[in-house]
Amino acid sequence: MITIWPQYLDKNLSLSQGRKVSKEIAVKEPSLSDIERALKRLGLQYSIQKERAYPGKWYEKSGRILVEWDKTKLELLKEVSLKIKEIRN
């Protein structure tokens, strides 16, 4: 299981604030529903935990998604981010 926090894909955040993908791939303010739509289109198994807070912002419940994935976390984040961009355009 791989955890995806919306912060990992957020273009507005710096690497030290939690972004894990490059700015070219990142999207503006991704929501759990954006990530969920991307995962559905990619045909991946996942579960959503809406009441979880990103450790860097423990006071803000942004939620997270746990994904069944057999490759690296970075590969998954890139796939999801690119799919969100495709859906938004």
- Which pLDDT belongs to residue 41? 95
pTM: 0.90
pLDDT in tens, 14-62: 999 999 999 999 999 999 999 999 999 999 999 999 999 999 889 989 9
DSSP state of 27: B
21 and 6 Cβ atoms separated by less than 8 Å:
no
- Which pLDDT belongs to residue 31? 93
89 pLDDT above the threshold of 90: no
- Which pLDDT belongs to residue 57? 87
pLDDT in tens, 53-62: 999 889 989 9
